[in-house]
Amino acid sequence: MRAGLLIITSAALLCLASVGESQTSTLGQGRATGRVAGADANGFKIGEHVQILTGFGWIEGTILAAQGNDYRVRARTGTEITKRYPDEVRRIGGPTDADRAAGQYTLHDKVQVNANGTWVDGEIMTILGMDYQVSISGNRLVWANAKNLRASFAPSRSPVAKAGVPPKAGLTSCAGKIEGRYATAGGFATMTIVFRSGKAIMKDAISDKDTELECWMGGGKVYLHKPGDAPGEDLPMDINDDGTLQSPFGEMKKKGS
């Protein structure tokens, strides 16, 4: 009986060793391919940080659960809400080719826009939610939604600029040009940004959390940039003739030094 027990135990150990080697091999192959374990058909996974569309614009959140294109997300304010991809959920770091195919684009993407029944080449200049302002021939600007846009080339990710480096060529620092405290009109959704020496401190209208960004300008616009993010994630604002800033949150006036 003892000899038989030893034979069975040895066979079990050999089986376990074989399973262990198989699992190790599978894990190694997963690392080699660079695939993200647990990602769904849209490329998202539970626990991933994303951006969600709210009444205050795009804010950061964390995916808690997913069902098809619907995602349960905890916003940075602590609120849990269900958002739908692609209209209300997008990944941090810029859209992938699949995201663009679903209708998500980023600043300066080369696209074709359906203008009065004709597809014409253009470039995305402004983004408001899932609506895009596109520059087309003749110095014209048109607004279009994702249904009236398509990529005009095989897109790729935009290069990521390091801290202290303009996110795109031609931009200069806001230091000494835009300084002081700017704010929108009063109310619950008041937004305040303090500009200091090329930095922009964005005051959250809901929480006490402040966000520090770099401030760059050029072509009549101000770009608020977070180092490490793709240029397509920048927040653009027009510089009005009277010195106010036209932001997605409304017109911002200088309120103090």
Domain boundaries, the chain: 38-92, 94-157, 172-256
CATH fold for the domain made of 172-256: Lipocalin (2.40.128)
* pLDDT at residue 3 in the model: 42
> Rounded to whole angstroms, how far apart are CA atoms 107 and 211?
21
Determine contact, residues 191/203, Cβ cutoff 8 Å: yes
State the CATH class of domain 94-157: mainly beta
38-92 is classed CATH 3.30.930.10? no
User: Smallest Cα–Cα separation from 90: which of 45, 36, 52?
Assistant: 52
* pLDDT at residue 63 in the model: 95
What tokens appear for 85 in the block?
Answer: 């991809």
Tens of each residue's pLDDT in the chain, 257 residues = 444 433 334 444 333 334 344 333 333 333 333 334 578 999 999 999 999 988 878 899 999 999 999 999 999 889 999 999 999 999 998 888 889 888 899 888 889 998 878 889 999 998 887 889 999 887 788 899 888 898 875 444 455 556 678 888 889 999 999 999 998 865 545 778 999 999 999 876 555 567 889 999 999 999 998 887 776 778 889 999 999 999 877 888 998 88
* pLDDT at residue 62 in the model: 96
